[in-house]
Amino acid sequence: MGTSHDTTAFACDSIAWWWTTYGRALYPDARSMCLLCDGGGSNSATKYLFKEDLQELADRLGLEIRIAHYPPYCSKYNPIERRLFPHLTRACQGVIFDSVATVRRLMEKTRTATGLGVVVEVLDKVYQTGRKYAEGFKESMKIVFDDYLPKWNYRAIPSTL
């Protein structure tokens, strides 16, 4: 959860936090991760800034990061939309958000009948809006687009590989 703007840097910092806190220990032999992303917002399929930040993240973590975007109006098929968000909504229903601590507490108490729980970390960094991707990034990027639906499916391969 963030206290600033939903930016590409925030999305990548959130992924990095999860990997360093949980992912690395849960999947010690992993050499890649796959992220299911909506088609818009900070992780939009059309944003080259997201691709640039994602490449930097892949380099920093030393992991290949595969992205599979859902096309517009198809995010309802993303498992998080069905498996988690309704429960978060129910936990927060009718409550006035008077502080970040209140929102965090409500989200952390969310549980499903199948045992899914929520861990919340507050990223209170101030994220800059209006950033542009580096000049020449589109021509020199190391993002590998898939043959099938390349607009929505691609990989950021770390430079160290």
- Over residues 85-140, the pLDDT tens digits come to 899 999 999 999 999 999 999 999 998 888 889 999 999 999 999 999 999 998 88
Q: Is residue 161 part of a domain?
A: no
Helix residue ranges per DSSP H, 7-155: 8-18, 24-26, 48-61, 79-83, 85-92, 100-108, 137-140
Q: What is the pLDDT, as a whole number, of residue 156? A: 96
Q: What is the pLDDT, as a whole number, of residue 161? A: 61
Q: Is residue 148 part of a domain?
A: yes
Q: Is residue 79 part of a domain?
A: yes
Q: How far apart are CA 140 and CA 58, in angstroms?
A: 16
Q: What residues make up the domain containing 57?
A: 8-156
How many structural domains is the chain composed of? 1
User: Average pLDDT for residues 131-157, to the nearest whole number?
Assistant: 93
Helix (H) or strand (E) holding 72: none
Q: How far apart are CA 118 and CA 80, in angstroms?
A: 12
- Over residues 53-85, the pLDDT tens digits come to 999 999 999 999 999 999 888 888 888 888 888
32-37 and 64-69: which strand pairing? parallel
Q: Is residue 1 part of a domain?
A: no
**Tokens, residue 58:** 């892949």
Contacts of 64 (CB under 8 A, 6+ apart): 31, 32, 33, 58, 155, 156, 157, 158, 161
Q: Is residue 35 part of a domain?
A: yes
